Chain A
Amino acid sequence: MAAPESAVDLSVGHSFETARRTITEADIVNFAGLSNDFNPLHVDEPFAAATAFGRRIAHGQMIAAIVTGLRSELDRWPVLAYVGASRDFRGPIGAGDTIHAVYTISGSRPTSSDPERGVVTLDLKVLDQAGNEAMTGEDVMLVDLRRQG
């Protein structure tokens, strides 16, 4: 994004996948420390083992965060701002699970105030290694259409 001039496809219906990443024990501990979210579902093994999850699970918002860093076409988008997002946490992810995301563009329009800026809406789903949906949701991005390529 820091200058590549190749074209990006912002058309509605366009779909693309991210790279995969295995979620590790270190990720969960690091995220607990960074966020100060030490909820026992994430850091207390006997507690978590007694829940329906059966083991400590990753913070849902950590999975949302890690997905933002997975390599994908989005890396080349001239994003001016991340406007909004929603996430439904549909299935647990634990250390050792491997995730990736599938994005599909669901809306693309110029802003009313500046036709050189576009609002692009994406549906996404995050899948584990077995193809189970861990998370679904939507992202809204403000994009510089002059630098679309």
Chain B
Amino acid sequence: MSSAGVGFERIAVGHEFQTSRRTVTEADITHFSAITGDYSPLHADQVFVEEETDFRTRIAQGWLIVAIQSGLHCEIVDWRILAFLSTGRRFVAPVYPGDTIHAEYRVEEVRPSSSKPDRGVVTLSCTIVNQDGVAVVTGTETFLVERGTDG
């Protein structure tokens, strides 16, 4: 592993940070359908959305919002992550093309590994927020993080 980066021992419960922002575009939704094969009508059929749902236009795929959030710049990019263990998400409000999102993180738990002293498990709460301050996705992420070797 690289020796650079923020090790497990430097991550504290209660620490809060935000990501950079990104505008979700029509192109993102179409590209995501192309990658996943998910052309379900909520994302790909404007007539269905207008006639059958309460949404004003096609909405972004929930997993697209989660995917985009995972690439927003934030402190986690510098963590010594060994593995992404799990995630739980609630898709609480729609994201439309043109909406601008960012995420707000808080470290909720840090737990040293019982079997391997060089690593630990970090659980964060993560709320993805749109330009109006409305939460669109809430949930948690859990990472396996290596301790630093130089600290």
The reply to whether A65 and B86 form a contact with Cβ atoms under 8 Å apart is no
**Contact status of A34 and B67, CB under 8 A, knowing A65-B32, A69-B37, A83-B90:** yes
How far, in whole Å, are A66 and B63 apart by their CA atoms in the complex? 9
How far, in whole Å, are A62 and B1 apart by their CA atoms in the complex? 23
Interface segment among A8-16, A86-94, A103-111: the answer is: A86-94
Interface size on B, residues (CB 8 A): 41
The reply to whether A34 and B40 form a contact with Cβ atoms under 8 Å apart is no
How far, in whole Å, are A2 and B41 apart by their CA atoms in the complex? 6
**Contact status of A65 and B36, CB under 8 A, knowing A35-B71, A37-B67, A85-B88:** yes
**Contact status of A31 and B35, CB under 8 A, knowing A79-B42, A89-B83, A89-B85:** yes
- B87 in the interface (beta carbon within 8 A): yes
How far, in whole Å, are A83 and B42 apart by their CA atoms in the complex? 13
Determine the residue in chain B with the shortest Cβ distance to A82.
B62
B38's partner among A40, A69, A81, A85 (CB-CB below 8 A) is A69
B91's partner among A30, A64, A69, A81 (CB-CB below 8 A) is A81
For chain B residues 34-62, which have a beta carbon within 8 Å of chain A?
A: 35-42, 45, 48, 52-53, 61-62
The reply to whether A65 and B90 form a contact with Cβ atoms under 8 Å apart is no
Determine the residue in chain A with the shortest Cβ distance to B91.
A82
The reply to whether B53 and A80 form a contact with Cβ atoms under 8 Å apart is yes
- A25 in the interface (beta carbon within 8 A): no
| Residues on A with beta carbons closer than 8 Å to the beta carbon of B2 | 40, 47
How far, in whole Å, are A86 and B77 apart by their CA atoms in the complex? 22
**Contact status of A86 and B87, CB under 8 A, knowing A47-B2, A61-B63:** yes
- Closest Cβ–Cβ distance, residue A139 to chain B (whole Å): 10
The reply to whether B63 and A86 form a contact with Cβ atoms under 8 Å apart is no
The reply to whether B68 and A89 form a contact with Cβ atoms under 8 Å apart is no
- A36 in the interface (beta carbon within 8 A): yes
B38, B72, B81 interface centre (most CB from chain A within 10 Å): B38
How far, in whole Å, are A140 and B93 apart by their CA atoms in the complex? 14
B2, B61, B63 interface centre (most CB from chain A within 10 Å): B63
The reply to whether A85 and B85 form a contact with Cβ atoms under 8 Å apart is no
- B113 in the interface (beta carbon within 8 A): no
- B66 in the interface (beta carbon within 8 A): yes
Interface residues of B (CB under 8 A from A): 1-2, 22, 28, 31-33, 35-42, 45, 48, 52-53, 61-64, 66-68, 70-72, 77, 81-91
A-B contact pairs, 21 of them (CB 8 A): A30-B35, A34-B67, A35-B68, A35-B70, A36-B22, A36-B68, A36-B71, A37-B67, A51-B82, A60-B84, A62-B35, A64-B63, A65-B63, A69-B39, A70-B37, A80-B53, A82-B62, A85-B89, A88-B85, A89-B84, A89-B86
